[in-house]
Amino acid sequence: MLNIKDLSRAIKQVAEEKSLEPERIIEAIESSIAAAYKKEYGARGEIIKAKVDMKTGELHFWQVKIVVDETTVRMDAKEGEGDVPSEPFDKLRASPDEGTENAEPILPRYNPDRHILMEEARAIKSDAALGEDMLFPLETKEDFGRIAAQTAKQAIFQKLRESERESILNEWRGKEGQIVSGVVQRFERGNIYIDLGRAIGVMFANESVPNEHYRAGERLRFLVLAVQEDTRLPGIILSRAHPKFVSKLLRQY
């Protein structure tokens, strides 16, 4: 059971500060708790769903099974096999020398941890439909409370980071091609990181002027070359060597 007062207070604070819907934060928490439960107690191929009762703090878990038949899965899984590839139904099978126009679709292999055959599903629920998610209650482990509480906190911080990054990207998307001012922060592998206030930009080595020497703490102007969405890459790309930088800089005088 979670401390619902502390959790509700944290959710409310993040929602108000970052203009997020509380429901989105709760969904992120439940998704993270489901993943933690699966890691502790589930099988690799299972789909786990979690629900937090925001009135009592109680946790509820279900195993999700997708209703399938021979037209939507390959029935060649070995008994007890749990590690099953999750190829999408529309992925195509083609040799390296063939195009994909006449290729056959590769169906996911039947996995009893995540699939339930239509006839079994109909025995439980008479109107079960192909592709439907069926929920099977799971035991709420008594020793899971501490893990769940820590996971909920991490999910809130993660949502906070995502919201902050999205807010910064929204602010900078409209500034591509503009001249901005920033302070040289640090040097790393030939790249220069620039403090832009709420954001940190990067000027790659090939975007710097060869004869210029930069010092930490120095304030300079830069051209905003690109704003990247990929979280694995630097978000705001700057340049002082691009031809547009000089032309735009001259227009300001």
56-113 pLDDT, tens digit each: 888 999 999 999 999 999 987 454 444 444 444 434 334 455 555 556 678 889 999 9
Helix (H) or strand (E) holding 49, with range, is: strand 47-52
Query: What pTM was estimated for this model as a whole?
Result: 0.60
Residue ranges per structural domain of the chain: 4-167, 174-251
Q: Which residues contact 114 (CB under 8 A, 6 or more apart)?
A: 45, 46, 47, 64, 65, 66, 84
DSSP count for the chain of H helices, then E strands: 5, 11
- At position 52, the amino acid (one-letter code) is V
pLDDT at 173: 82
Q: Which of 65-74, 177-186, 240-249 has the lowest mean pLDDT?
A: 240-249
Percent of the chain at pLDDT > 90 equals: 43
Local confidence band at 194 (pLDDT 50, 70, 90 cut-offs): very high
* β-bridge partners, 52: 59
pLDDT at 72: 92
Local confidence band at 156 (pLDDT 50, 70, 90 cut-offs): confident
- Name the most confidently modeled range: 73-87, 118-132, 167-181: 118-132
pLDDT at 89: 40
Q: Which residues contact 169 (CB under 8 A, 6 or more apart)?
A: 227, 229, 235
Encode burial over 37-71: b for 16+ CB neighbours within 10 A, e otherwise.
Answer: bbeeebeebbbbbbebeeeebebebbbebbbbeee
Fold classified for 174-251 = OB fold (Dihydrolipoamide Acetyltransferase, E2P) (2.40.50)
pLDDT at 134: 96
Q: Which of 101-105, 208-212, 213-217 has the lowest mean pLDDT?
A: 101-105
DSSP letters of 63-125?
A: EEEEEE-TTTSBS-PPTT--------TT-EE--TTS-STTPEEPPPBP-TTTEEEHHHHHHH-
* β-bridge partners, 146: none
Query: From 2.170.150.70, 3.30.1480.10, 3.40.462.10, 3.90.1150.10, which CATH number describes the 4-167 domain?
Result: 3.30.1480.10
CB atoms inside a 10 Å sphere around CB 151: 23
CA-to-CA distance for 29 and 174, rounded, in angstroms? 32
CA-to-CA distance for 12 and 54, rounded, in angstroms? 12
